[in-house]
Amino acid sequence: MKRGFRDRDHLQTPENLYFTTVGNVHPKDRVFSYLKYVPDKSGKWGRRRKYRRAMEAYSTLQIEQCLDFLRRNYPQYVFHSNLQNLTFSAVPKKFITQHFQPERKLQQLLRKHKLDSLEKRMVNLVHVLADESGVDLRNFGVTGSVLLGIHRTEFSDIDLTVYGRPSSLALRDALIHIFQNKYSSIRRFSAKKLSQISETESKVHHLTPFEARRIYERKWNRGEFQNTFFSLHPVKTECEVSEKYGDRIYLPHGIVTVKAQISDASEAFFMPARYGVRGVKMLQGPMVPNIREIVSYEGLFADIASEGEEVICRGKLEQVRDRKEGEAYNRILVGSIEASESDYIIPKL
């Protein structure tokens, strides 16, 4: 199938703004994406042209601030979706000057003879992961600042993508095994680093440090390699995406808190992360039947609960009208601007 716009791709506009795509489902003429880097002479990223991050931390509050920045300066990149009942940034295809694809960038770096120190670490990490998991090198990609060529060896991280469900599952199994080997160069965060991250995440997501730590301890796709932070992001290929923009209409019905049992976690490591649920009990909000799923656009809550586990979830209740199937059901969305960072998914003890 033709290569489309995938989650974690990057886009450049005529103003030299860089956007990061969100998910694989987009309108015909636009690409859902959030503002990532903005030209700034005092920015820390880049070499000849300097850039700063548009968001200091990834949160719905920061996304709302980015939307305000775009409304004031580049309103052409702000889009209101009547089908999804939300306003988000989406770059019109006619304004895309360059489409950065992670798997192509990685292949270029694998062939490159002269690499800087961060690129060398990234290439070494990919080779180790490929050897340990059996995943073909062609199914990996590199995203973030390395993809754009504006990284700095002093502080930039390694952000990788892995394409397709089979490759993602194989890589998850391999990493869980690798983390158990205390002699491996690929490691989980140290206790000190984990405490620092938990403290930061607790403030961003209004969790207790204990809750944030419990969630982070379940994250298999983040760690350290040769003293460099890395993250791995599973991404669907075109043949794995059946939904098209417009197939479903989403109607908001306020913020709720529920307790539920996970019935299906097979879509939980993609963006958005989807959990099938059953036995839903309303803890705060109106009693609503037929809540089928919890969907998170916040990466922290991706793939942190398994089938059979109970979770407490707070998020935006939405009615989903599936125009393709001719049915309606309800879901809870985590990562909405309406929730003002008060939403979460927490596995029960």
Taking 50 as the pLDDT cut, the residues of the chain under it are none
Q: What's the pLDDT tens digit per position in 105-147?
A: 999 999 999 999 999 999 999 999 999 999 999 999 999 999 9
Going along the chain from its start, the domains and CATH numbers come out as 10-100 (no CATH), 102-235 (no CATH), 247-347 (2.40.50.140)
Q: What's the pLDDT tens digit per position in 174-189?
A: 999 999 998 999 999 9
Per-residue DSSP letter, 78? E
At residue 167, φ and ψ (nearest 5 deg) are -65, -40
Q: Which residues make beta-bridge pairs with 149?
A: none
For residue 141, give the nearest of 115, 167, 116, 166 by alpha carbon.
167
Q: Which amino acid is at 243?
A: E
- What distance in Å separates the CA atoms of residue 45 and residue 267, rounded to the nearest whole number? 34
At residue 310, φ and ψ (nearest 5 deg) are -95, 145
pTM of the predicted model as reported, rounded to 2 decimal places: 0.94
For residue 314, give the nearest of 284, 273, 269 by alpha carbon.
284
